Amino acid sequence: DTGVSQDPRHKITKRGQNVTFRCDPISEHNRLYWYRQTLGQGPEFLTYFQNEAQLEKSRLLSDRFSAERPKGSFSTLEIQRTEQGDSAMYLCASSRTSNTGELFFGEGSRLTVL
């Protein structure tokens, strides 16, 4: 069990640039989640995939954010035209379809927008 891996772990970018994060879930997990976490806050739901289908998106997710999960394996989260308010830890989690409770989180990708 190699766990959920995320890349890059840290990203510093200038306002207005585009950034992309990658998540590799645990191989047998069908469900994949993206969360955002800022300092002192709990993780905030962004979006959810079952296999390759994006089934839910937070209404807080602006149109600058897009996520994909081609072939139901790894996932990417792209942020276009980054803003300073996008600075946060972006967490990916995966779970088995049959287990609704236990999310396995990666170590996150920390974004700093200057």
Partner 1 sequence: EDQVTQSPEALRLQEGESSSLNCSYTVSGLRGLFWYRQDPGKGPEFLFTLYSAGEEKEKERLKATLTKKESFLHITAPKPEDSATYLCAVHHTGNQFYFGTGTSLTVIP
Residues forming contacts to partner 1 in the complex (CB under 8 A) are 4, 31, 33, 35, 40-45, 48, 50, 55-56, 58, 91, 93, 100-108
CB of 27 to partner 1, least distance (A): 18
Nearer to partner 1, 3 or 16 (CB): 3
CB of 108 to partner 1, least distance (A): 5
Contact between 77 and 23 (Cβ < 8 Å) = yes
Closest alpha carbon to 6 in 112, 105, 78: 105
In a 10 Å sphere around its CB, with 0-12 CB exposed, 13-18 middle and 19+ buried, how is residue 92 labelled?
buried
CB of 70 to partner 1, least distance (A): 20
